[in-house]
Structure 1
Amino acid sequence: MITAVHVVIPARDEEQLLPRCLISVERARLALRAVRPDLLVDVTVVLDSCRDRSALVVETARVHSTAVDFGMVGPTRDAGVRWALASSAMNGIAPQDLWIACTDADTVVPTHWLTGQVELAVDHDAVVGTVEPFGLTDTEVLTKWRARHHLIEGHPHVHGANLGLRASTYLDVGGFRPLATDEDVDLVRRIRAHTTRWVATDAVRVASSARRLSRCRGGFADFMTTLEDEVG
């Protein structure tokens, strides 16, 4: 049974978008605590090679942070999960009772994000959620994006910005690998090979920035840029 939830958020020079993300995560945390006051719910931001004021944003939000210098999202996410595992162990929480909820610093999660994941954790060890862009004003680009994305139950997509999993399952499959891109796809592929206790759902959809400036090559921003270039 899940007794603790830890939200892990990688951030690289995200002082502009991180505040909105943390506000949404806090709302989701409070919503979960309202229905499950027995749960320990923590948030950790992993600051990767940040040269802006992202650390100040985290301090103001009063959430945990750890600093790394990888310049890659794979090991940065892994560092956050390892931090969560270590802090949970200090509270006597076993990996099978710890739920890891992953999102990104440029993402806004719905209020029911954590509540929905914990409910699904009763029968699943991994929850693969959907993502939609926010801040996209070009209707033609949005139409192209919608044609390529299926916001439905059983969808085929994988997004590190909306991924939840049991910590014991994370350890069983070896965690996020030190990859610059597709670390989320790689992890979910190994989870699916390891267990049938996973679900691809649209029930906990999040919204990620449609900005053109990418923090990692091959990420969501690069995909949005590709769509805009096709239209242009």
Structure 2
Amino acid sequence: MIGVIVPVHNEEGCLAACLQAVSRAAVCPGLRGEAVLAIVVLDTCYDRSADIAAEHGVLTLCIAARNVGMARAAGAAHALALGMRWLAFTDADTIVSPDWLSTQVQLGADAVCGCVHVEDWQDNLELVRQRYQERYCAQDGHQHIHGANLGVAADAYVRCGGFPALPSSEDVALVRALQACGASIAWSAAPRVVTSARRHARVRDGFAGYLRALADAPEPGTACAPAIGAGLASRP
């Protein structure tokens, strides 16, 4: 079986679309009938997120940590307890492609780091879109790490110690731990997801933080220009 873990903190505006996309990916012919279980980890939610998850018939866990690392870890632990052989992670503001899961498992690696794509830039200046597209490498061999597009074999996840209890960059920490224990990682552009370019996200220093940094960055060649992505450890 394959487990799909979605951490959620007050995501009533986008969760339904996310879960619909996961449902489509779960019946992809490329999976050859392998069962898929979606696990929504409701972390300190006080909106309609729990109701939306219930309407879609997914398994839910409730925690009160306000910590995305702990939320992903809780979902992964539950999936492992149920005997999942592959753990796939995405975010509530993300739409996965119909072949997202099948592409991950068919790559034959211990872990898969995928890219993210943005289609709606309405919350950002045109300058941000331009700078993002100039800097982002959406092709095989990239070095981006996104919790919105990540897959890990169960045995490799256990071997590296799993997600740490970090409020951000938990995905980067997991991949670094996988590398340290010798896991094979596919840096692939094939598993496709579309994510939100919202400026005010649920996680500090995440993708939204990177977009804000792009807006504030000096033009190339300006004195004392900061390194874009510094501190994000291969987040785009």
TM-score (structure 2 length as normaliser): 0.87
Higher helix share: 1
Aligned partners of 2:54 and 2:37: how far apart in 1? 14
- Give the letter aligned to residue 154 of structure 1: G
Structure 1 pair 47–15 and aligned structure 2 pair: CA distance change class (3 A): same
- Give the secondary structure class of the aligned counterpart of 2:82: helix
Aligned partners of 1:132 and 1:217: how far apart in 2? 20
Answer with 137-146 or 195-204: which moved more. 137-146
Across the two proteins, how many residue pairs are aligned to each other? 216
Aligned partners of 1:134 and 1:119: how far apart in 2? 26
Is 1:223 the counterpart of 2:210 in the alignment? yes
The structural deviation recorded for 1:196 is 4.6
1:17-69 residue CA offsets vs partner (Å, 9 max, x unmatched)? 111111111111111xx343441211000000001010001001111110001
1:176-209 residue CA offsets vs partner (Å, 9 max, x unmatched)? 0011111100110111121252110001121111
Of residues 61, 70, 74, the one that matches 2:69 is 74
Identity %: 39
Answer with 49-58 or 139-148: which moved more. 139-148
1:127-184 residue CA offsets vs partner (Å, 9 max, x unmatched)? 0111122321443211101122110101011001100011111110100001111110
- Give the letter aligned to residue 100 of structure 2: W
Partner of 2:36: 41
Aligned partners of 1:131 and 1:35: how far apart in 2? 21
Question: 5 Å matches for 1:15-30?
Answer: 15-30=12-27
Is 1:5 the counterpart of 2:2 in the alignment? yes
Aligned partners of 1:187 and 1:143: how far apart in 2? 30
Aligned partners of 1:20 and 1:186: how far apart in 2? 28
Contact 2:201 2:208 in 1 (8 A): yes
Partner of 1:161: 148
- Give the letter aligned to residue 105 of structure 1: A
Is 1:126 the counterpart of 2:123 in the alignment? no
Aligned partners of 1:216 and 1:110: how far apart in 2? 23
Aligned partners of 1:198 and 1:227: how far apart in 2? 28
1:111-139 residue CA offsets vs partner (Å, 9 max, x unmatched)? 1101101211xx31100111122321443
Partner of 1:213: 200
Unaligned runs of 5+ in 1: none
Unaligned runs of 5+ in 2: 219-236
Aligned partners of 2:212 and 2:173: how far apart in 1? 23
- Give the letter aligned to residue 128 of structure 1: C
Question: 5 Å matches for 1:169-180?
Answer: 169-180=156-167
